[in-house]
A and B are shown apart, each in its own frame.
Chain A
Amino acid sequence: MNRLTGADVLMRVYLGIFFFYLLAPLAVMAFATFNTSRFPTVTPWLGTTTQWFVALWNDRQMWQGLRSSFIVGAAVIAVSVPIGVAAAMLLDGVHKRARSLLYAVMVSPLLTPGVIIGISTLVFWDRLGVKGGLHLAVIGQSSFIIAYVMLMVSARLQRFDRTLEEAALDLGASHTQVFRKILFPYLRPAILAGAVLAFFQSFENYNTTLFTRGTETTLTVYIASKVRTGLTPAVNALALILIVVTILFAVGYEILRRRQKAKVAAA
């Protein structure tokens, strides 16, 4: 019924090329894991193996990096979620004129290059006698991850029906009780999503961590250094695992987000 015009055909070809371009490199990287070649590649194929997973498993540095990444991620959640929620509530509560200024300051870390956040954190804390390390990575990362949490919580807070707060107050709740019983349960989905996002951002952060890490190594830093010195397909094995985890994560997160969106639309 619909006849394809020349433009349509062109568009389809372009779409095909684009998605090939987008996904093929990841596939190449994944497939290279199973090549026996010492340098990760798919050409030439020297034989199929799973030896690089074993090599990865036996790499103590990798485990060390993974451990550090989890520690930093957990600490970033602990720092950025409460502050992000508080910042969103503050932004929601202040007067209009103050709001736009406060908003500009709060989102500025998102527009600041990660290396600069890392550098300024390093220089500032060095003045106070604090040297680089995982703790400084947590501070540096949090300074912009809080803004992500703030934005997520803000978006939900804007749809909050404030009469619920008033009703609870009117029924005798204290302000703390109103927060615990009404506002917090309402914000919980956004807070959870914010925590997930915070962990993810922290886990994959490189630029800020690079300057603040001191002599410590997170998983992302480990990968980067491995690629530059001592590259074997064990790195691909790790990449493959991370990609699979990421896909599961991304799909799960999207499903959650859409379900919530549908709920909002239905309500």
Chain B
Amino acid sequence: MSDLLRRYGWPITLFMIGTAAIWLVVMVVLPALVMVEYSFHPNLPVTKRGGPEDYYTIANYAALFRGVDLATWTFPNDFKVFVRTIWGASLVTLVSLVVCYPIAWHVAKVAPPRRAALMILLLIIPFWINEILRTFAWYIILAYQGPLNAVLLGVGILEKPVRWLSGSGGVIIGMTYAFLLFMMFPLINAIETLDTNQVEAARDLGAPTWQIHRRIVIPHAKPGIAVGCIMVFVLAASSYIVPALLGSPGTRWFTETIYVWFFEGQDWPRGSAYAFILLTLCVGFIMLVMRVFRVGLADIAK
């Protein structure tokens, strides 16, 4: 505080602390706390709030699991949606990592500088294009009478068109496409910083290509892999528009369930509880990745 004053003087110091406090308290921390507090209330009309029927309850959280019966292996709808979201987001993350790694390696270390620059430009352009438009593109491609079916029928791979947009396939394809580049850039940035001499030294010592990647490149790229996984997982788990456009009523995503509780069921406490569960899921995943890859927060937010 005294350092700040000495450096910036009273007016600027007050402005800095004041605005940062407004941001962090009023826009970040308090809304989150209020949402969490809200989720422990029953859903009541405004007039009954604070009345005898208003008490703290964990019913909104329990609702997610109510009806789960492992004996008969039956699960309620919301729970299925939740599991599907975790499973889907994990799958998207894994696929993105596998697809991106060779490309990132090529762009960062193999391609000559000019070609690498061109490829980065080709990566940046779709990266900047709105998520909705990228999803919409696949909506067209995957349509029943769309180009994918037309091409596959044309070359004789398919005998009759496939309904791509029913089931989770379309959602996974669309999400991978929409979020893949959030894996790509952290990977490229991480691999770029690897000293090429290390790779050459390993090769010189007789390491085959896969060993070079296993022992040298991947350990070095860990922070990038961690960042990429976190970004893709969080984006996928909390995506609304991709499942809304590419999914079908039978393949709802957890975000859609939350939206429905908020604006169709008019049950805000339930929606808040589910939102907090989603947040917990994401935070849990972030902490898991940070632990597994042994990286800190400063490595992630770059």
Contacts and interface: CB of A to CB of B under 8 A. Distances in A.
A223 B244 contact: no
Interface residues of A, number: 87
Given A41-B146, A119-B275, A227 B245 contact: yes
A40 B11 CA distance: 57
A70 interface: no
A247 B240 contact: no
B230 interface: yes
A116 interface: yes
Interface in A134-160: 139, 142-143, 146-147, 151
Given A28-B140, A28-B147, A29-B140, A119 B23 contact: no
Nearest to A253: B128
A43 B245 contact: no
B133 A243 contact: yes
B297 interface: yes
B103 A115 contact: no
A242 B286 CA distance: 33
Interface stretch (A50-58, A173-181, A259-267): A173-181
A4 interface: no
B150 A123 contact: no
A172 interface: no
Contacts of B239: 207
A211 B130 contact: no
B255 A165 contact: no
A70 B38 CA distance: 33
B190 interface: no
Interface of B: 3-4, 7-12, 15-17, 19-20, 22-24, 27-32, 34-35, 38, 99, 102-103, 106, 110, 119, 121-134, 136-141, 143, 145-147, 150-151, 177, 209, 230, 234-235, 237-241, 244-245, 255, 258-259, 262, 268, 271-272, 275, 278-279, 282-283, 286, 297-298, 300-302
